Amino acid sequence: AIAQGEVPPALREVRLLALDVGALLAGASMKGEFESRLKGLLEEAGRSPQPVILFVDEVHTLVGAGGASGTGDAANLLKPALARGTLRTIGATTWSEYKRHIEKDPALTRRFQVLQIAEPEEIPAMEMVRGLVDTLEKHHNVLILDEAVRAAVQLSHRYIPARQLPDKAISLLDTAAARVALTLHTPPASVQFLRQQLKAAEMERSLLQKQEKMGIQSDERRDALTARIFSLNNELTASESRWQRELELVHTLQELRVAESDADDKTTLQQAETALREWQGDAPVVFPEVSAAVVAAIVADWTGIPAGRMVKDEASQVLELPARLAQRVTGQDGALAQIGERIQTARAGLGDPRKPVGVFMLAGPSGVGKTETALALAEAIYGGEQNLVTINMSEFQEAHTVSTLKGAPPGYVGYGEGGVLTEAVRRHPWSVVLLDEIEKAHHDVHELFYQVFDKGGMEDGEGTHVDFKNTTLLLTTNVGSDLISQMCEDPALMPDATGLKEALMPELRKHFPAAFLGRVTVIPYLPLDETSRGVIARLHLDRLVARMSEQHGVTLTYSEELVAHIVACCPMHETGARLLIGYIEQHILPRLSRYWLQAMTEKAAIRQIDIGVNGDEQIVFEIVC
């Protein structure tokens, strides 16, 4: 504003100079040297024919600079000049540093007029970032679209709460520009990965060839490696040709943009853009400009949150979510449909951005799939079970254990180490949070989650905000399990999901306050019928078949009679599906292990094992060597 003359006449001739406190301190080891430098600087500023205003970044560093605070430090040396008005100064610092260093000195506080600079809203932040677009374009030699500026501000404001606008938007846009510039000059990650895989396979083959010269034969592995190298070469050739073609189309488009920037007819340019889009499809590897999609990809890499526009495959996965969950969770179609609908709403961008994706209380007997639902949801949507945060609420039965979840307050043991819940969500903001056996936690722990359910966040023990807006919270409870079992005992008289929920609410109110229940979606989980138990038995037997094949190369088969036998031996019980799993582990796995170990001691090669049931309802094993 001073350089452009957009200030009152008294300020138009002013020089604005930055004071480097670090340079002022550098080398001033002798007593009086720093004071002499600072005094000379003040005298020089006072003698200047053109008025001078000093700007001091991190102004709190003046306190204690050159001496102990309150003695001969820079702040005390500046006080007389500031009081007389011979030195005009603008300082910048944060509120925490101001309170810690400057506010403790009332005399120094009076010398400065405090002005609060708040974080700008999205629209002013966009205007600030647009002022840097030319600089970023020249530095990275790329084109930055205005949609990228808007996306950088909006996405950083929503998904990066730990930093402030416009700083985080500028960092995001700068990183996106660097990525676009990188794609124009280096191979994409897919090509680099294939090259590394091919190099590793060739190294292994050369090692095997070296062993064969010494008489150590490994024909099967060598043949497998030869086939793998052939496949990798073909895949690499196809990927490189596709990348080179895409790179040519991008360079052609960039040349046309420069050549036809002033032309009235943009037909050729539009044809080049269409050809590039058709060639790239939904998986571009070279980018002609910085777009909103590139910015969203950077946000996804930084936070793990899929912030960009869904492609066709991802949209179909979200639409098929209930069916995908049902592959692991059997007999709970109604519950899975409710969870799937909430996830679909959130991924479509229609959910409340101020709250978590969903807050569900899964109520039902033990062993019917409540915990498995969390595992399946993390696997299907959130990228794997590593993005599942599991908290066993039975460990929080005392009021003081709240500090374990959110971190110890100042003055308590463990302050600064973070809480088990807040730290896990900070590291994995896009995750499933499973609060297992929530009814066993202390009521003070229940109240801790009110702000999470309502506002999508909480403050940890250090006062840092932790964002829960991109998490799905699943609370499991066994409250009312006996009631659910009784009401579902006769399938002909079993109520629907709404009636079951209404009957369950009085039981839940005995353990949870109404304010808590009003913030969650209660989903009853039904006892497993015979068909569901059969599906679960097959699922675990199939996993056993896969393990035998992968680890030992043995073909394992089982009959339908075995499934029926397992289900008959495991009637509906308080443990639900866990009884089925336990039966397989106690009656099938030990005998399989014994047969395998006997074959090893006898040096016999087992090719196939068939498991069935004889006429005496006994499990039998047929070994084929």
Q: CB of 544 within 8 A of CB of 589?
A: yes
Q: Which amino acid, residue 77? A: L
pLDDT of res. 536:
82
**Residue whose token pair is 């059969």:** 534
What DSSP line would sit under 459-485, residue for residue? E-TTS-EEE-TTEEEEEEE-TTHHHHH
Tell me what pLDDT residue 346 has: 83
Nearest-CA neighbor of 188 among 316, 284, 120?
Answer: 284
The Cβ-side half-sphere exposure at 107, using a 13 Å CA radius, reads 11
Residue 429 burial (10 A CB sphere; 0-12, 13-18, 19+): buried
Q: What's the one-letter identity of residue 245?
A: R
- Dihedral through CA 515, CA 516, CA 520, CA 524, nearest 10? -110
Phi and psi at residue 40, to the nearest 5°: -65, -40
pLDDT confidence of residue 433:
92
Q: What is the pLDDT of residue 72?
A: 57
Domain residue ranges in the chain: 9-111, 189-286, 315-524, 530-624
**Nearest of 43, 38, 45, 12 to residue 23 by alpha carbon:** 38
Report pLDDT for 625: 73
Quickly name the fold that domain 530-624 has.
Answer: Helicase, Ruva Protein; domain 3 (1.10.8)
Backbone φ, ψ for residue 148 (5° rounding): -70, -35
Dihedral of the CA atoms 193, 195, 198, 203 (nearest 10)?
Answer: -110
Q: What are the Cα distances from residue 319, in Å, to 310, 322, 372, 384, 551? A: 12, 8, 20, 18, 35
Instruction: Give pTM, 2 decimals.
Output: 0.75
Cβ(164)–Cβ(119) below 8 Å? yes
Measured between alpha carbons, how far is 416 from 407 in angstroms, rounded to an integer?
Answer: 7
Tens digits of residue pLDDT in 105-162:
888 888 888 888 888 999 999 999 999 999 999 999 999 999 999 999 999 998 888 8
Tokens of 180: 């676009």
Would you tell me the crossing angle of helices 167-183 and 146-159 to the nearest 10 degrees? 130
Instruction: Mark the ranges of the chain whose per-residue pLDDT is less than 50.
Output: 69-70
For residue 174, give Cα distances in angstroms to 139, 142, 181, 242, 475: 10, 11, 11, 27, 40
pLDDT in tens, 26-85: 777 766 777 788 888 888 887 888 888 888 888 888 887 655 544 556 777 788 888 887
Whether residue 501 contacts residue 492, with contact meaning beta carbons closer than 8 Å, is answered with no
Q: Which amino acid is at 220?
A: E
Check: CB of residue 239 under 8 Å from CB of residue 190: yes
Cβ distance 85 to 46 under 8 Å?
A: no
Burial class (CB in 10 A: 0-12, 13-18, 19+), 20: exposed
DSSP string over 183-233: HTTS--HHHHHHHHHHHHHHHHHHHHHHHHHTT---HHHHHHHHHHHHHHH
Cβ of 400: how many Cβ atoms within 10 Å?
11
54: three-class secondary structure by DSSP? strand
pLDDT of residue 263: 61
Q: Phi and psi for 423 in degrees, rounded to 5?
A: -70, -40
pLDDT reported for residue 348: 80
Q: Other C-beta atoms within 10 Å of 431: how many?
A: 23
pLDDT at 261: 63
For the domain with range 315-524, which CATH number is right: 3.40.50.2000, 2.40.30.170, 3.40.50.300, 3.40.640.10?
3.40.50.300
Q: Which CATH superfamily is domain 9-111 in?
A: P-loop containing nucleotide triphosphate hydrolases (3.40.50.300)
Cβ count near 176 (within 10 Å): 28
Q: How far apart are CA 218 and CA 220, in angstroms?
A: 6
Strands 358-363 and 88-92 come out as unpaired
Instruction: Tell me whether the CATH fold assigned to 9-111 matches the one assigned to 530-624.
Output: no
- Digit-coded pLDDT (tens) for 301-348: 888 877 766 555 667 778 888 888 888 888 888 889 888 888 888 888
